[in-house]
């Protein structure tokens, strides 16, 4: 993958520094990393799930963390405690550690995680604050008092 120079964006986009930073950080998140494979699913309008194939990892070997719209999933395989070295004729199951990062949109929170059948499922929910939700503005004549904005789809109690 070729690198992209975003310097011209910083010079010409006044007030859009955050967007340019997001583009820049997204280009460096995964690189060419393909391990472990994952799916991103839309469960509902404001609900999402990330499924990561973590076969062979136990719950205590996985770490999930969110920090400033960045979800980080890390896996560290513990050394075998039996003390003997195994001799493989073919080793196709990767038992290496991993670090997978996902950039989350504003107001997206992690609501839970579960591990079942070798798939780690991280549940996400987008919760818009009341101030960001669309509001219906009624049009009145000049003689009527101004009304408060109403939420779309909600009935006001009068």
Region 130-142 average pLDDT = 82
How far apart, in Å, are the Cα atoms of 146 and each of 50, 138, 142, 150, 157?
A: 46, 9, 9, 12, 17
Q: For the chain, list the domains and their CATH numbers.
A: 36-79+93-129 (2.60.40.790)
Cβ within 8 Å of residue 84, ≥6 positions away: none
- Where residue 71 falls among pLDDT bands split at 50, 70, 90? very high
Interval 95-124: pLDDT, tens: 789 999 999 988 899 999 999 999 999 999
Nearest to 23 by CA among 111, 143, 103: 103
Region 133-157 average pLDDT = 69
**Residue-level pLDDT at 143:** 61
- Count how many Cα atoms sit within 13 Å of the Cα of residue 51 in the half-sphere of its side chain: 10
**Residue-level pLDDT at 32:** 47
Interval 36-57: pLDDT, tens: 999 999 999 999 999 999 988 9
% of residues, the chain, pLDDT over 70: 66
DSSP H stretches of helix in the chain: 7-12, 17-29
Average pLDDT across the chain, whole number:
80
**Residue-level pLDDT at 129:** 83
């Amino acid at each position: 993958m070729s690198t992209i120079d975003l310097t011209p964006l910083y010079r010409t986009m006044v007030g859009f520094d955050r967007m340019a930073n997001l583009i820049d950080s997204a280009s460096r998140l995964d690189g060419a990393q393909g391990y472990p494979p994952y799916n991103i699913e839309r469960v509902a309008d404001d609900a999402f799930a990330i499924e990561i194939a973590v076969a062979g990892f136990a719950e205590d070997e996985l770490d999930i963390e969110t920090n400033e719209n960045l979800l980080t999933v890390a896996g560290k395989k513990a050394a075998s405690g039996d003390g003997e070295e195994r001799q493989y004729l073919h080793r196709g199951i990767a038992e290496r550690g991993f670090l997978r990062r996902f950039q989350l949109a504003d107001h997206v929170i992690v609501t839970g995680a579960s591990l079942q059948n070798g798939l780690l499922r991280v549940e996400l929910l987008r919760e818009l604050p009341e101030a960001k939700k669309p509001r219906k503005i009624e049009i009145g004549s000049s003689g009527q008092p101004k009304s408060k904005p109403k939420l779309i789809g909600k009935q006001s109690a009068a």
